[in-house]
Amino acid sequence: MATKKIFLNIAILLSCMFVWGQKGYKPSVENLKAREAFQDDKFGIFIHWGIYSMLADGEWVMHNKNLHWQEYEKLAAGFYPSKFNAAEWVAAIKASGAKYITITTRHHDGFSMFDTKHCDYNIVKATPFKRDIIKEIAQECQNQGIRLHLYYSHLDWRREDYYPLGRTGKGTGRTKQGKWEDYHAFMNNQLTELLTNYGKIGAIWFDGMWDKDIYPDGMTAKTWNLDEQYTLIHKLQPACLIGNNHHITPFAGEDIQIFERDLPGENKAGLSGQDISRLPLETCETMNGMWGYKIIDQNYKSTKTLIQYLVKAAGKNANLLMNVGPEPNGNIPAVAVQRLKEMGEWMKTYAPTIQGTRGGVVAPSHWGVTTQKGKTLYVHVLDLTDKALFLPYSGNKLIKAVEYNGKKSIKFTQDNDGILLKFPKIPESPDYVLELTFEKELPAK
């Protein structure tokens, strides 16, 4: 408990330092506690699902194929995911060791997966299924003890009041020019529904603001009226975290920082070159290639790769939000379910070395990463062909070093330069975890 209090006090201090440099927003005590819990969770599952799954060509098919909005919306009349079972979805996700679910309530195609009074183009009114997907997921999350986060698109390829148009969705047949302020009112009305009708929401996860980066003021808080929108969210649910996948430095009012397809500090995919803030961090990645269901995309990452990505994220003090794209019939693909199960088997043993920890005092390196909690440093050896490892950390006496699984003692020597660990054999994949106990509390990064 003492360690938790120390981390919370540090979080409050850093948050205040961050906020003071930006006008207006001061996170509530509930919000700061929610940030701490979010960092403890470390692992979440992303769900991209909508009527686009019927075309089995990914969630961007409307834009990629320049489908006219009046033709595309006809998909809704045939959407009947007869095999959808919220209890099975949540159980499979919980079995992976994940602590929260982030699900698309409305993607760029403009179709709402919940019962909204502000647009008939939704799962209840426009489909023969007539069931509120988000309501059922929310209920199961509550029943099974897993947090619910909601994805909401700032971008819309269908509405005429999403004007001026951005750099995507120009071929969807919109000819009229609505009012931008009407679109903002629509979004805020829907967000009010989501935050009042679906229980406790852990976070709102925005996406699509980058669509307006073609305009000089397209990426400003003023253009998107973020102050009003973020104030609304925090007023309705003070503990609800706000994240925005805009690919730039966070704005005032945001509570987490998102990195797409990259770990913080890396930019291999070209979407995450922004500076790393002092906010809690999350990286989102796909289990295969696409976010939404694509029938020819069977390029699933191996369980080893997924586990190692989760560990690397934790070592960089970030959460991993791993995506699955359900099929149009309501099933999560069998391969994805298997990956979730296999990750869960690993997490049954090693979750305490990830969840509830923070990035370790030894920086990530070619061989792996470290995480820490109190006086304990967890050394995650991911790729090493030697039987010894040097850790450049000194000034704190190492009391004990053991293999985490089995608690077998590990030989070590310590001097002013650091610690040399000697292994009985070359470490095996996917993750050889050591537990090092020190005399004093490890300093927070």
Q: Could you tell me the fold of the domain covering 29-356?
A: TIM Barrel (3.20.20)
pLDDT of residue 272: 87
Alpha-carbon gap, residue 198 to 148, rounded angstroms: 10
Cβ atoms of 90 and 98 closer than 8 Å: no
pLDDT per position as a tens digit, 311-340: 999 999 999 999 999 999 999 999 999 999
Rounded Cα–Cα distance for residues 276 and 209 (Å): 19
Q: Are 12 and 240 in contact (CB under 8 A)?
A: no
Give tens-digit pLDDT for 216-267: 999 999 999 999 999 999 999 999 999 999 999 999 999 999 999 999 999 9
**pTM reported for the whole predicted model:** 0.94
| Structure tokens belonging to residue 269 | 């995919």
Check residue 418 and give left, alpha or beta (phi > 0: left; psi -120 to 50: alpha).
left
Alpha helix stretches (DSSP H) within 145-279: 180-197, 226-236
234 has which bridge partners?
none
Lookup: tokens for 408: 């077998």
| Res 373 pLDDT > 70 | yes
* Domain boundaries defined on the chain: 29-356, 359-438
Cis peptide before 164 (omega within 30 of 0): yes
Domains 29-356 and 359-438 share a fold: no
Q: Residue 16: enclosing H or E segment and its boundaries?
A: helix 2-20
Q: Does the pLDDT of residue 2 top 60, yes or no?
A: no
Q: Which residues pair with 422 in a beta bridge?
A: 388, 411
Q: What is the pLDDT of residue 273?
A: 87
Q: Under CATH, to which class is 359-438 assigned?
A: mainly beta
Q: Would the pLDDT of 62 be above 70?
A: yes
Helix (H) / strand (E) element for 144: namely helix 133-144
